[in-house]
Structures are given as C-alpha cells and as structure tokens.
C-alpha cells in the first residue's frame, strides 16, 4: 500500500474518536458521563484523564508518523531508533499505566468504606432484584424489589449476592459495578449526592433475560427518604372497592401468595418479589414495564413471552375481567 493511502486509512481513525467526543453529550439517567454522586464523579474524572491522555498519544503518534513519512524520510542511526523504542515503547507506557493503576487503586478504599448506617441488601434473582433495607439497629429488613432508593448526601452500604447465577449490579450515574455471586456477599458503598431518578441494570450476562433485568434508582432528600421508608415498612392497606376485593380473592385462589408476600395479609410467599407496596414502585417486572392496568394484565397473562425463562407461570387461562380485577388489586397496593 503506498504511504499516502496508508495515511488516508490512518486519518479515517479520527471519526471513531469524534464519535467518542460527541458521546460527551450523553447525559441522562443511565450514564457514567452524568455523575450523580461522589463515586461516579471519581470514575468520570478517571475517564476524562484517560480520554485526554489517549488524545495526546493519538496526536503524538500520528504526528511522528507524519513526520517520518512526509517530512524527514531519511534513515535513522540504530542507537537513536533503539532509544525511541525503549523510551516511547517500554518506559512511557509502563509509567503511564503504572500511574493510572496507582490512582485507580487509591480511590477503591472509599468505595468500599463502611457506610453511614443504612445497609441495603440486594439479591439478584432470575431475573429480578430482591431489595432489603436495614436501617441502623433494625431487627428485620424492610423488603422491596426492583427499585433501590438512597438518601442523598450519605454513604450507603450495599451488600450484594445472588441466588443461582452470577449477576452484576450497576448504576452508571452513581458508581462502578460489582459482581453478585451466589454464596458470597460483596460489599460496595455508594454516596449519591444529586437527588433524582437513575436507571440501573444487570451488567453481567446471566441468562436468557439478562437484557430484561433492570431497576429504578431514586435518590431522595434524607427526610423524604425516611418518610418513604416508614411507609414501606407499613403493611398493605385492605382493598377498598368491590373490584379490588375480587382481585384479592383471585390472587388467593390462584395461589399467588405461595410465591409473593403482601404484608398485612395471609400471603407470605418468598420465592417472588414482595408486592406489599407494588404500586409505589416506578416499574414492573424489573424495569421493563409500568405499574398500570394494561401492563399488569399483560405481564400476568404472558410472563414467559415477555421475560424468557422467568419462574412465574403465565396465567393465560384467566379471563380479561379476572385479569383486570387482579390488576386493580395490585394497583391499589400503594
Ligand atoms: Cu442478571 Cu445479567
């Protein structure tokens, strides 16, 4: 290939680079480039430094390439060439990568530091998240699912494990990812600072529904969080209308309570998500649907079609009015 064509090919490498720079516009609620807390901000800084370094290296390398192919095409003394190879090819990368490693390791202790009191235990199930809040001194957890809420401005300890397969918890706007391994409890602490809504997802391929394993994250003002947690600890309210009562009877007759708990009722299953305050959550089926009538009916009747290999059977024998009543009951669980 003639040198000029080689250079053209090399120069086209600028487009992916521009693409990466444009990604800087990727704000949003699931973006490591839009940090909402201390840990994510540290990672973002590392990213910026590495990106800047990569740009400098890219420019330097292409500058040298240009220089030696277009400007100075003469021969090198062997000693001179060896110096360049050892200096730029061995010493420089060793120093740069070593410094990055030291810096990266230096921020790890804070991300594993003990929390300020609140502990949230998250268990990755197939394919959803069991979430248990342990406020300081609690004897029993406040159980929820598929949504993690944090008080802003304090460091919260996450204790992470999994039931059957290895998963990984990742809230890009709040911090790095940590594997969730059966039989092991990994600890990650996060300090979210910006109140708001963020999206998290499973970051390790775990099976057929890996891509359908997401969750909502809410960072709240500390007093609003305390009020919310108190509400979550309360039992479910009894069904108010006739439709909701019929829905509760269907829930009982179809045996839903064998897998799902609704505190304040006789339903105490622990295989599936706790539904006590289902309607207060921002999503259904782990971040993929909404807690509203149509989606609830759709989900109950077509679980396996919507989320392959999910444990919950599809209740496709229920009539539309039965599904609607069931959904009405679930919608009343605020
Ligand atoms: Cu759970 Cu991927």
The DSSP secondary structure of 239-286, one letter per residue, reads P-SHHHHHHHHHHHHTTGGGT-B-TTSS-B--SS---TTGGGSS-BTT
Atom in ligand 1 nearest the alpha carbon of residue 203: 2
Atom in ligand 1 nearest the alpha carbon of residue 205: 2
Helix-helix angle 38-66:3-11, to 10 degrees = 170
pLDDT at 4: 43
Ligand 1 centroid to residue 311 C-alpha, Å? 15
pLDDT at 17: 56
Single out the residue of 136, 141, 139, 134 nearest to residue 117, CA to CA. Answer: 136
pLDDT at 16: 58
Pairing, β 167-170 against β 142-145: unpaired
Cβ neighbors of 17 (< 8 A, separation 6 or more) are: 55, 58
pLDDT at 14: 56
Q: What is the pLDDT of residues 206-221, one digit of tens each?
A: 999 999 999 999 999 9
Ligand 1 centroid to residue 41 C-alpha, Å? 25
Q: What is the pLDDT of residues 133-159, one digit of tens each?
A: 999 999 999 999 999 999 999 999 999
181 sits in which H/E element: none
13 sits in which H/E element: none
Atom in ligand 1 nearest the alpha carbon of residue 165: 1
Q: Which residues line ligand 1 (CB under 6 A)?
A: 124, 127, 167, 202, 204-206, 210, 213
Enter the pTM of the model. Answer: 0.84
Evaluate the CA torsion angle 266, 270, 271, 273 in order and state its sign. Answer: positive
pLDDT at 62: 93
Q: What is the DSSP letter of 198?
A: E
* Span between the terminal Cα atoms of the chain, in Å: 68
pLDDT at 139: 92
Burial class (CB in 10 A: 0-12, 13-18, 19+), 167: buried
Weakly modelled stretches of the chain, pLDDT under 70: 1-27
């Amino acid at each position: 290939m003639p040198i000029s064509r080689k250079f053209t090919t090399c120069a086209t490498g600028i487009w992916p680079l521009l693409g990466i720079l444009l990604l800087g516009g990727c704000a949003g609620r699931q973006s490591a480039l839009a940090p909402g807390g201390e840990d994510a901000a540290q990672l973002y800084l590392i990213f910026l430094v590495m990106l800047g370094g990569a740009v400098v290296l890219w420019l330097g390398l292409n500058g040298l390439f240009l220089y030696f192919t277009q400007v100075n095409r003469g021969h090198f003394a062997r000693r001179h060439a060896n110096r360049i190879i050892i200096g730029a090819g061995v010493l420089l990368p060793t120093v740069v990568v070593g410094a990055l490693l030291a810096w990266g390791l230096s921020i790890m202790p804070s991300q594993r530091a003990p929390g300020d009191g609140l502990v949230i235990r998250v268990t990755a199930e197939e394919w959803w998240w069991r979430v248990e809040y342990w406020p300081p001194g609690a004897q029993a957890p406040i159980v929820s699912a598929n949504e993690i809420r944090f008080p802003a401005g304090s460091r919260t300890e996450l204790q992470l494990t999994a039931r059957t397969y290895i998963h990984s918890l990742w809230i890009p706007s709040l911090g790095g990812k940590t594997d969730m391994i059966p039989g092991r409890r990994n600890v990650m602490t996060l300090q979210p600072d910006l109140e708001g809504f963020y999206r998290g997802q499973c970051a390790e391929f775990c099976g057929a529904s890996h891509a359908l394993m997401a969750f909502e994250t809410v960072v709240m003002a500390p007093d609003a969080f305390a009020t919310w947690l108190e509400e979550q600890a309360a039992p479910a309210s009894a069904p108010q209308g006739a439709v909701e009562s019929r829905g509760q009877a269907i829930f009982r007759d179809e045996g839903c309570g064998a897998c799902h708990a609704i505190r304040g009722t006789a339903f105490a299953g622990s295989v599936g998500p706790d539904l006590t305050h289902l309607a207060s959550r921002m999503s259904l089926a782990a971040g993929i649907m909404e807690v509203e009538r149509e989606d609830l009916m759709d989900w109950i009747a077509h679980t396996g079609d919507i989320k392959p290999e999910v444990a919950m059977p599809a209740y496709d024998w229920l009539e539309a009015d039965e599904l609607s009543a069931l959904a009405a009951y679930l919608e009343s669980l605020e």
